[in-house]
Amino acid sequence: MREGDEGMDIVRGIKGFLAGNFFLSAIRMLLGLMFLYSGFFKVLDPVSFGRVISAYGLLPGPMVPYAALTVSMLEMVLGVLLLTGTWIRPAAAVSILLMLAFSAAISINLIRGNEFDCGCFELSRFGINERISIWLVLRDLAMAAGFLIVHNARRHPISLESFIEKRRLREL
């Protein structure tokens, strides 16, 4: 009987998480912070990020600067939106696409037999060289799954969206 209750608690916990609870909000904010941090350094030094994009060998040369400028600013914008809880669904949807694109880019280069610094999260600034590997693909896919959960959640207790909605309902 007691074991059954515990099992039900776990199921309820998972359901609550998937529907959107404080824990999911914390994860969303953490993902937002990660994007904000990563994008900030890329916006400051887009040329270095452009060199990383070039190393992947997937875009024609003239497109690289535009991709570097767009992706770096996109990460910043997504970071702010996810952190504050604004436009959560579109921000999560774009984040999923971004993570899938990163995974595909790494996978293609692994198949090509290339090996170079992945340029993830600007870790090379701190002397940490994270080279492309299957683990990075899995990490990006795991993050895409995290964004999918955020995208599908119906509630976001800690968010600007929720705060504005509550105020609106109070004023009715």
Partner 1 sequence: MEQNEFITTVRRGAVLVVGAFLFGIAANYFNPGGYRFLSPEAISESRIVEIGVDEAKIKFDHSSALFIDTRDGDDYFDARIEGAINVPGFPESLSEKTIKEQFRIISRPLEAVLYCDEGCDSAAVIGRRLLEMGYPRKVYILQGGFGAWAKKKHPLEKSPDAGGR
Looking at the Cβ atoms of 76 and 106, the one nearer to partner 1 is 76
Positions 108 through 147 that interact with partner 1 (CB under 8 A)? none
Q: Using CB under 8 A, which of 55, 69, 123, 141 touches partner 1?
A: 69
> Under the criterion CB under 8 A, does residue 159 sit at the interface with partner 1?
no
Q: Using CB under 8 A, which of 24, 29, 32, 50 touches partner 1?
A: 50
Q: Closest separation between CB of residue 4 and partner 1, Å?
A: 35
Q: What is the 3-state secondary structure (H, E, C) of the chain?
A: CHHHHHHHHHHHHHHHHHHCCHHHHHHHHHHHHHHHHHHHHHHHCHHHHHHHHHHHCCCCHHHHHHHHHHHHHHHHHHHHHHHHCCCHHHHHHHHHHHHHHHHHHHHHHHHCCCCCECCHHHHHHHCCCCECCHHHHHHHHHHHHHHHHHHHCCCCCCCHHHHHHHHHHHCC
Binding site for partner 1 (CB under 8 A): 43-47, 50, 65-66, 68-74, 76-78, 81, 87, 89-91, 93-94, 97
